[in-house]
Amino acid sequence: MASNRGPVSYEVRQDGSLRARRGGGGLVSGLSAIGPDAGALWVCSALGDGDREAVRRGVGEDGVRMLDIPADVHADAYNGIANSVLWFVHHMLYQTPLEPVFDAEFRRQWASYEAYNRAFAEALAEEAAEGAVAIVQDYHLTLVPGMLRELRPDLRIGHFSHTPWAPVEYFRMLPDDIAEQVLRGMLGADRLGFLTRRWADAFTGCCDALVGGLGDTRIGVHGLGADADFLRKRSHEADVDERMAALRKEIGTDPDGNARRTIVRVDRTELSKNIVRACWPTGSCSWTTPSGGSGSRTSRSRTRRGRTSRCTGTTRPRCGGWPRRSTRSSGRRAGRRSCCTSRTTSRGRWRRTGSRTWRW
């Protein structure tokens, strides 16, 4: 199996030793059922300095191969193409009067995306047994199935998309050669999986319009849900009871002494989730912010892939409520919309905003 993020990550302690911990992200959680008993090998990318140091020292976990892809190549492929182009296309979130712009910088980053995908294809070709199954994950690795097919025609290859797939009218915004390369890369697989029929049909429509159809590749729709039995069992353990009691004490009661009704969501604070809109049906909500007086929270949240047309809420943030133009560091393309305080890290572009707590 291949994915950008793997089931384990490493950090370098102050004494120079390495500490392993479970990899983050929804994909890792969704695929956690694939355990060591499956006899599978998980090929992933080294994401940070700790991961790269682990690869150089030969430190690793059973069933995991971590690729030490050069940091600049990974940054171009992951941040420049996968998250800043393909993710926006598939979620249809471009401000189309202004973007996207496919310039020389895009072409340079696309070359890194090709190199990044090639590294995964070569690793899978090297590791897979005769006639084995190789399952490739998500939009970061759309070119891998086609590359792997050329290297190892004996393999059974699958690819699963964990995001939407754009309809052909939107997908056509990509340059013709890039759109065709993405589709033909995907069609190197024997079977492609999508989360919904709508997105599977959108992919089929793109292939019919741009590359003459699906060929021999089959399409499947497979929902990826939570492990309900595990969650039910976990909810009755002692540490959960203790945490629930602490939360009830923190939430407290309303002015009449009644227990407050609480709605809990766990989401990235990003534009595709639109958490504020999701709260509208519940009724009016009052905000507490880091500067909102008594009972306000001081935590901060991080937003990736971020653009916003306007900050929302009853209080205006420090940015004044309107987006401003910003420039990516390390020579990245200018013109990204950002809000509040922005910074660029080795793991991508993040926007920091004061978090808000909603109470009813």
Q: What is the pLDDT of residue 37?
A: 66
Tell me 260's DSSP state: P
Tell me 139's DSSP state: G
d(C-alpha 146, C-alpha 136), whole Å: 11
Residues 7, 137: contact at Cβ < 8 Å?
no
d(C-alpha 273, C-alpha 214), whole Å: 31
Task: Give me the average pLDDT of each 10-residue run along the chain (360 residues).
Answer: 86 79 65 66 89 83 88 95 95 92 97 98 96 95 98 97 96 97 98 97 98 97 83 91 90 86 74 69 50 37 36 35 35 36 35 35
d(C-alpha 142, C-alpha 346), whole Å: 22
Q: What is the pLDDT of residue 341?
A: 34
d(C-alpha 121, C-alpha 110), whole Å: 16
Backbone angles phi, psi at 114, to 5 degrees: -65, -45
Q: What is the pLDDT of residue 295?
A: 39
Q: What is the pLDDT of residue 230?
A: 83
Query: 102 forms bridges with which residues in the sheet?
Result: none
**Tokens for 338?**
């950002």
Q: What is the pLDDT of residue 325?
A: 35
d(C-alpha 312, C-alpha 349), whole Å: 21
Report, in angstroms and rounded to the nearest whole number, the Rg of the chain calculated over CA atoms: 22
